[in-house]
A and B are shown apart, each in its own frame.
Chain A
Amino acid sequence: MNKFTVSGSPHIHGDDSTKKIMYGVVIAMIPTVLFSIYFFGVDATRVFLLAIVACLFFEWAIQKYLIKGPLTINDGSALITAILLALNLPSNLPGWMVIIGALVAIGMAKMSFGGLGKNIFNPALVARVFLLVSFPVQMTSWPKPSPITNGLADVITGATPLGILKEGLNNEKTISELTPNLPTYTQGLMGEMGGSMGEVSALALIIGGIYMLWKKIITWHIPVSMLLTVAIFSGIFWGVDPEHYADPLFHMLTGGMLLGAIFMATDMVTSPMTKGGQLVFGFGVGLLTILIRLWGAYPEGVSFAILLMNATVPLINRGFKPQRFGRN
């Protein structure tokens, strides 16, 4: 005799699932991963694999032995954190540092807050900043990209474009003097410049972003407001003094700007819930990034900007509510 099920309505559901969303993001990151392996070779593969294995291992171990709760390493969120962490690191980082990064990302920034959905700060960025502050030398020696087709040449290290810019400006050089050392726009777009593994190829990142917009995993609000803010602010200063301030397109293509705008700031757990809130969030990230880039001590500001704005998200959620029906 069949026992009927009784439950509250609705009795049907859409076919969206957390797993689908997570793996959708992973697919969007594939072009970037491929490009970084192309440019940074075996080292890149090494960092990716280490990060993935370490993150999954730590999540499994913490869930099984510390929390003693259900195991959810299949849902794809640890995988995303691992890939994002790897994309934020230079490909010549020692393996044990990658593992520490994974532990910080999963253990400290995600699990200690309560697991999936409960963290305030973006785990990959927390780990990146942690490593940057703890191991500044290794975290800022960027290998020069050398397409894998050129064979396994010795890795030469150099500074990122932003690093060149900041140091040059601090030494009272002008933009025109520095330009020969900076990549061209094409090189910036395609990825032939120094930087972390994910920073280099703007094209790959944009492809991933378009994929996520198509699959409705992210909306345009945060990336557009962030990049627009960056463009406007840097544009104003560049317009006033083009010899001491780089142009907006340069800012957008270098550093972690696109990686941050497309993958890190749009992380659902740590970004605001309403469209209005997201626009404010994007504006804040853009503004802080430019402030740090132009006047801060660090050449790159995206990671810090996103983490700082993550802290304001609960406040943004309180202030920006959706439009209510029948209350205007």
Chain B
Amino acid sequence: MGILRTFVLGGIHPTENKISSNAPIETINVPEQAIVPLGQNLGAPSTPIVNKGDMVKVGQLLAEATGFISTNIHSPVSGKVLKIDNALDGSGYKRPAIIINVEGDEWAEGIDTSTDLVNEITLDSKEIIEKIKNAGIVGMGGAAFPTYVKLMPPPGKTAEFLIINGVECEPYLTADHRLMLEKGQEIIIGTRILMKALNVDKAFIGIENNKPDAINHMRELVRSQDDIEVQTLKVQYPQGGEKQLIKASVNREVPSGKLPIEVGCVVQNVGTAFAVYEAVQKNKPLIERVVTVTGKAVKKPSNFLTRIGTPISQLIDATAGLPSNTGKIIGGGPMMGKAISSVDIPIVKGSSGVLLMKKEESSRRVESPCIRCSKCTYVCPMGLEPFLLSQAGKLGNYELAENESIMDCIECGSCQYGCPAGIPLLDYLRLGKLKVGEIMRNRGKN
């Protein structure tokens, strides 16, 4: 079995509620109209290369990357481009998107749509990275950072380990779990492709201990392979946070303000590894993903293989409809997901789940004064003092906030989760981070 690895500082254990973990991945129908936002990744939004009225096929390039930190976007459906206009997306704002009226399901040439396993990796490191870049792959864990950028360490830094994040520490979400159970082989091949791209000879797959079937399955698959090791991690939130995972997996701490490559590690989500497999071995760009639709009142909690651009309403209907007492809809998990205002927004590359909360669970607790109990400090995985940073953000003392390392905060929400007084610590902390970030950027300009 092995000892349970974990990160050292802080952490909480919210109720797991993995009610959809036994639901096998279902492919959901292609939508009638696909809304493909141009800003689906961390970085600059992409530039469209199609026009109104164009006919497009599945997998066809719709928009190009704008600059270094950006991605290509491919059509998830086949049909006619209705318009390129502003549409509401998960950010709460209307952003530019390509809206396609779907006709049939015709795929672009060259894409292997069969499910046959392709084992052999014929390309070299540079070619792999180029292919990943062209396929528009981003981090599927939710951050949506362009993958190819992570695979190109800056000069002077080399990768030593690849860590595959199969942790899924957020309550309710089970997309990665099901993917490991059903597409384990493909994930392993994807891992090898990434290892080749990075030129590393050791990879770890970290899985939390509440998924014993996935751990056993993945261990079986890499039984005879020494260079890929499955690690069982303690069930603790935020085990899946990049820095915490690196600490748990290889016991290295990423220095403050720096990236994981500084300690020789690159972390990729299992979903990303799977997408890499499909892109490199099957020539299939990133046009679909597994989304968990769940919630205590949902009649049929499910994991859907969804095309990008499908409206969330279609997913909810596929689980037998929106429960009447729904008070809140969250895009993502309950700890770090974003509450959305309408069901008409589309699934994007980083959408890992849709969580429907009952009205009784949707409201925050009544705020009462801080009793200086220090729970927030004890649970912070980055060793910060949320009570102090939150007050600094609220009262505008940005100098204090910066000195007390507010920019180290990963916004995991452990502090607000544990606060007995119901204080919205993360709200004000985020506000503080916004303002301090602005100040730091302006300082850099002068």
A322 and B336: CB pair below 8 A?
no
Q: How far is the CB of B405 from chain A (nearest CB, A)?
A: 6
Cβ of A13: which chain B residues have Cβ within 8 Å of it? 364-365, 416-419, 422
A9 and B421: CB pair below 8 A?
no
B256 and A324: CB pair below 8 A?
yes
Residue A6, interface by CB 8 Å = yes
Give the interface size bracket for A toward B. 35 or more
Q: How far is the CA of A10 from the CA of B335 in the complex (A)?
A: 4
Q: How far is the CA of A2 from the CA of B382 in the complex (A)?
A: 38
Cβ of B334: which chain A residues have Cβ within 8 Å of it? 9-12
Closest residue on chain A to residue B338 by CB atoms:
A9
B357 and A11: CB pair below 8 A?
yes
B336 and A116: CB pair below 8 A?
no
Cβ of A72: which chain B residues have Cβ within 8 Å of it? 368
Closest residue on chain A to residue B356 by CB atoms:
A4
The secondary-structure label for the interface of chain B is: loop
Cβ of B328: which chain A residues have Cβ within 8 Å of it? 4-7, 11
Q: How far is the CB of A74 from chain B (nearest CB, A)?
A: 11
Residue positions of B touching A, CB distance < 8 A: 9, 12, 14-15, 92, 171, 243, 247, 253-256, 258, 324-330, 334-342, 355, 357, 359, 361-365, 368-375, 377, 380-385, 387, 404-405, 408, 411, 413, 416-422, 424, 426-427, 430
B380 and A322: CB pair below 8 A?
yes
Cβ of A117: which chain B residues have Cβ within 8 Å of it? 369-372, 421
B420 and A17: CB pair below 8 A?
yes
Closest residue on chain A to residue B364 by CB atoms:
A7
B335 and A14: CB pair below 8 A?
no
Cβ of A116: which chain B residues have Cβ within 8 Å of it? 368-369, 371
B12 and A14: CB pair below 8 A?
yes
From A11, A21, A273, A325, contact of B385 by CB (8 A): A273
Q: How far is the CA of A11 from the CA of B243 in the complex (A)?
A: 23
Q: How far is the CA of A34 from the CA of B426 in the complex (A)?
A: 43
From B171, B371, B380, B430, contact of A18 by CB (8 A): B371
B383 and A324: CB pair below 8 A?
yes
Residue A319, interface by CB 8 Å = no
Q: How far is the CA of A118 from the CA of B371 in the complex (A)?
A: 8
Q: How far is the CB of A281 from chain B (nearest CB, A)?
A: 12
Cβ of A18: which chain B residues have Cβ within 8 Å of it? 368, 371, 420-421
Q: How far is the CB of A192 from chain B (nearest CB, A)?
A: 36
A322 and B377: CB pair below 8 A?
yes
Q: How far is the CA of A12 from the CA of B335 in the complex (A)?
A: 7
Cβ of A328: which chain B residues have Cβ within 8 Å of it? 253
B253 and A4: CB pair below 8 A?
no
Q: How far is the CB of B292 from chain A (nearest CB, A)?
A: 15
